[in-house]
Structure 1
Amino acid sequence: MTVVIGFEGSANKIAVGIIRDGEVLSNPRRTYITPPGQGFLPGETAKHHRGVILTVLQEALNEAGLKAADIDCVAYTKGPGMGAPLVTVAIVARTVAQLWGKPLLGVNHCIGHIEMGRLITNAQNPTVLYVSGGNTQVRIEKADISISLNYIDTLTFLLTLTNMNSLYCFYSPGYNIEQMAKKGTKYIDLPYTVKGMDVSFSGILSYIEDAAHKLLSTGQCMPEDLCFSLQETLFAMLVEITERAMAHCGSQEVLIVGGVGCNLRLQEMMGVMCKERSARLFATDERFCIDNGAMIAQAGWEMFRSGHVTELSDSWITQR
């Protein structure tokens, strides 16, 4: 049996998870919560992580019923992500590995999401749609198409400018947008740009930034309508390029991973497409979609079993 502990802290989540041969033994985490309407800055986020990471580590060991001697390898998120939080996690992981006398493994955050999705859903050879706050990728065999998907969070911040701070909780902006969208009834036309496997979201962001004040202040739409329209447009674009990827490689499976991947509307829209193609959809819930330590442990487990180890001299981080 091989036991791997994984440290994740690439953004506002700090987490430690333990995997034993495909079994999740523990997966505690903490979230850095900012005041309404404010994003999380790297320095402040790192300060939060430093304050709780040892507590989360102890929780992971206690929950798994293990001690340091039971761990075979220490994995940590090497990147991509925010510099200061990543450095915090890397330092702790390096220290723990040396104190415990265990090998160290730097893991790619994106690969962690994908490996966790494969483990939990048991998907065999899926086309993978990876959607999170900072990364969006469709993986077709060895090719990646990458774009940025910060617009759900951006819309959240724009809505605070309408003096409705008291109405919304910013513990999870994406979740709140999803709940508001369920109440939307009016679709607002937004830019829709798909060219082959290339997707552009920049027009949507520019439109919302320019139009949000006007549309809301003049009563042309409600915040719920804006949330509904954003979700429908973004997700339709993602479903289109995922279907095109499936057609290119004859895939009959789709796996959705990443924090945005637990959005039920995205899963519903993707499910309709899959049904029309007689394909299968795989997705997980917030326990494993949102950044967590177990996903780093699982990717580390795969790497360690394949003979990979990260030397201390190479145990740096990368934001890209």
Structure 2
Amino acid sequence: MAKQHPSGPLLSIGCEGSANKLGIGIISHDPTTGKSSILANIRDTFVSPPGTGFLPKDTARHHRAFFARVARAALAAAGITRPEKQLSCVCYTKGPGMGAPLQSVAVAARTIALLWDLPLVGVNHCVGHIEMGREITGADDPVVLYVSGGNTQVIAYAERRYRIFGETLDIAVGNCLDRFARTLAISNDPAPGYNIELLARKSSGRVLHDLPYAVKGMDCSFSGILTAADLLAAQMREQEARIAAGEVVKEEDRITPEDLCYSLQETIFAMLVEITERAMAHVGSNQVLIVGGVGCNERLQEMMGQMAKERGGNVYATDERFCIDNGIMIAHAGLLAYETGFRTPLEDSTCTQRFRTDEVYVKWRD
């Protein structure tokens, strides 16, 4: 039986490790004022070499190696010296995500919960993103565009569930960007999608390569776009070989990495704006909240903002501290659930690669 803590602000520690980011965050909720305070948000990223992705076993090994030091850094930043006395609960990412990294962090979370005799709270990764976005931006009841390496969903809240109105039919938008970065051997530091964004900014914008545009209602598909972009990249390499051999290629016919990145971004972001606008019209909302790692992209924010403005609405987004996977979002969403009486029994403190956003009962919202 977990200990009872004295009345006052509730504190939770959140452990995130669903992909290549290991994050530990600590947050405080004051039940009397309803205010939250971020006390610590520490993150360490596993970065693989250019042209490669991050394998589950390597990512899990990174999380196991760095968990203790990241947790100590978070506790120090929050000024917590007696976690067994000061914390109310231990929150961890239950899913969705990569199996081996999820398991590594779940085991670590169980360990500290047992060590400190604290209750566990398993958190849906997607709901963590949404609740953190709402908390930081102040968005009231927005349509949510959730875009990351593993997920692409258009979501709206109704009757204590985050309902999925549209989603990817194959790969996630972030996965599409990451895999194209591998095709071009773009650095994964700090993130492949961010480096694609930088290259796209260098494009003159004069060339918008024709790529498949796959929208089906409020769903979308990215695998065909990736294949077409990969074929153009292969043509670019052939051009480079011909140029190296002394052949002259007209400037207007040249394919460049900058133009490829620009074309890929413009196409997939236009698709995301379209399905989001359709969901807004469907539910009668004029607010858009962008969450997930791809949500940091300034071009996506700009395009979404233009659409929202034309509808008389607003777009809400956060910076890389809260868009990219982090521990504070798990601590926050977990503490919201904890305050409603939710607990994860030790025997049920598993994790799953497939944990749908709409499976979560959102008891803390009206």
Which of 192, 206, 229 is 1:208 aligned to? 229
The alignment's C-alpha RMSD in Å is: 1.2
TM-score (norm 2): 0.84
2:312 corresponds to: 278
Between the aligned partners of 1:172 and 1:4, the Cα distance in structure 2 is 28
Match of 1:187, SS? coil
Matches within 5 A, 1:208-287: 208-218=229-239, 220-287=254-321
> Is it true that 1:130 corresponds to 2:146 in the alignment?
yes
Which of 115, 132, 143 is 2:163 aligned to? 143
Matches within 5 A, 1:29-68: 29-66=43-80, 67-68=82-83
The Cα shift of 1:193 comes to 1.3
The Cα shift of 1:53 comes to 0.5
1:121 corresponds to: 137
The Cα shift of 1:140 comes to 2.6
The Cα shift of 1:37 comes to 1.2
Q: Which amino acid aligns with 1:313?
A: E
The Cα shift of 1:169 comes to 5.3
Between the aligned partners of 2:188 and 2:281, the Cα distance in structure 1 is 40
Match of 2:97, SS? coil
Between the aligned partners of 1:169 and 1:146, the Cα distance in structure 2 is 26
Between the aligned partners of 1:113 and 1:136, the Cα distance in structure 2 is 12
Between the aligned partners of 1:292 and 1:195, the Cα distance in structure 2 is 32
Worse overlay, 229-238 or 133-142? 133-142
2:343 corresponds to: 309
Which of 198, 202, 221 is 1:179 aligned to? 198
The Cα shift of 1:216 comes to 4.2
Which of 146, 158, 166 is 2:183 aligned to? 158
The structure-2 alpha-carbon separation of the partners of 1:169 and 1:196, relative to structure 1 and needing over 3 Å to count, comes to closer
Check conservation: 1:216, 1:222, Cα contact below 8 A: no
Unaligned runs of 5+ in 1: none
Check conservation: 2:176, 2:223, Cα contact below 8 A: no
Check conservation: 1:128, 1:138, Cα contact below 8 A: yes
Where do 4+ consecutive residues of structure 1 move more than 2 Å? 140-143, 168-171
> Is it true that 1:192 corresponds to 2:213 in the alignment?
yes
Between the aligned partners of 1:133 and 1:217, the Cα distance in structure 2 is 30
2:27 corresponds to: 19
Report sequence identity in percent.
Answer: 57
Between the aligned partners of 2:49 and 2:219, the Cα distance in structure 1 is 35
Check conservation: 2:113, 2:119, Cα contact below 8 A: yes
Which of 7, 13, 17 is 1:5 aligned to? 13
Match of 1:18, SS? strand
Equivalent pairs counted in the alignment come to 314
Match of 2:50, SS? coil
Unaligned runs of 5+ in 2: 1-8, 30-35, 241-253, 355-366
Check conservation: 1:153, 1:173, Cα contact below 8 A: yes
Between the aligned partners of 2:271 and 2:89, the Cα distance in structure 1 is 40
2:362 corresponds to: none
Between the aligned partners of 1:264 and 1:216, the Cα distance in structure 2 is 29
